[in-house]
């Protein structure tokens, strides 16, 4: 948050340090795209999208936590797996192999046992997010409910990215996008749903550098403001990160 960044910057300044204070999503953005314009979508337990335009403006969408946001995240996918299992139990939803997979994973014999486990905190937020792996497995086996969950998750992640794109007003319709986080280890289920809600030509890029290099580049830019524009030639010249 802006007020927190100002407080930390002030403390470091008083201690004699010249600093840049940013959250880890920003350094992930800079690292993934090498400082160039584009979008990064991060989805692990939670979710957030950030982007940078040609004027070096940076905007975010999402990242509001599992109660108010985190759409498309591992928690979102895992929670929906539980919801659909309970709908099947109530006979108000279609059959899904997720129900048995969840029962086996949680070592329960009856679907409704999951309810007190969730509300008592026996299953943590991370534990619910971990159920996302079952959804990917079920989708690979052709389960329609699992496919519905992943399709919706991908669309939600796409909407996060699109919100950023609209606010940044890119000068081009061709936009680079990097995907970061555990959810994208099986991104084949998510790419098309992401693209389906964005009326731009999205070029998916593998993250160029890890976040720690993004932090390094931000610091380097403070003493050499043109470094990001020369990054490609500098990498070749000095064989950086090769």
pLDDT tens digits for range 31-69: 888 888 999 999 999 999 999 998 889 899 999 999 998
pLDDT digits (tens, 9 = 90+) for 168-194: 988 888 999 999 999 999 899 999 999
* Residue 147 to residue 167: CA distance in whole angstroms: 30
39, part of any domain: no
Q: Which residues pair with 177 in a beta bridge?
A: 39, 204
Q: Which two tokens stand for residue 58?
A: 């940076």
Under 8 Å between Cβ of 79 and 125: no
* Residue 138 to residue 48: CA distance in whole angstroms: 25
Q: How many domains does the chain have?
A: 2
Q: Which two tokens stand for residue 234?
A: 């500098």
Are 10 and 130 in a shared domain?
Answer: no
Write out the residue range of the structural domain in which residue 185 sits: 44-206
Secondary structure of residue 206 in the 3-state scheme: coil
Are 26 and 135 in a shared domain?
Answer: no
Whole-number pLDDT of residue 225: 59
Are 58 and 175 in a shared domain?
Answer: yes
Under 8 Å between Cβ of 40 and 178: yes
CA of residue 220 relative to chain centroid, distance? 26
Are 14 and 51 in a shared domain?
Answer: no
């Amino acid at each position: 948050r802006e007020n927190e960044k100002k407080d930390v910057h002030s403390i470091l300044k008083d201690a004699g340090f010249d600093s840049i204070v940013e959250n880890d999503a920003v350094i992930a953005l800079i690292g993934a795209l090498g400082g160039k314009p584009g979008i990064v979508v991060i989805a692990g337990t939670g979710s957030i999208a950030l982007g940078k335009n040609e004027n070096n403006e940076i905007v975010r969408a999402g990242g509001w936590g599992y109660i108010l946001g985190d759409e498309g995240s591992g928690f979102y996918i895992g929670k929906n797996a539980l919801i659909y299992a309970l709908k099947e139990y109530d006979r108000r939803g279609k059959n899904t192999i997720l129900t048995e997979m969840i029962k086996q994973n949680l070592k329960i014999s009856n679907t409704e046992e999951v309810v007190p486990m969730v509300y008592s905190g026996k299953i943590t937020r991370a534990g619910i997010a971990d159920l996302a792996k079952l959804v990917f497995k079920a989708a690979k086996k052709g389960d329609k409910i699992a496919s519905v969950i992943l399709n919706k998750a991908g669309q939600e992640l796409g909407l996060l990215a699109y919100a950023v794109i609209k606010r940044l007003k890119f000068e081009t319709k061709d936009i680079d996008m990097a995907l970061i986080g555990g959810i994208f280890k099986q991104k084949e289920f998510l790419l098309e749903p992401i693209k389906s809600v964005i009326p731009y030509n999205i070029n998916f890029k593998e993250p160029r550098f890890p976040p720690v290099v993004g932090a390094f580049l931000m610091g380097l830019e403070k003493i050499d403001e043109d470094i990001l524009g020369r990054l490609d030639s500098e990498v070749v010249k000095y064989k950086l990160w090769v």
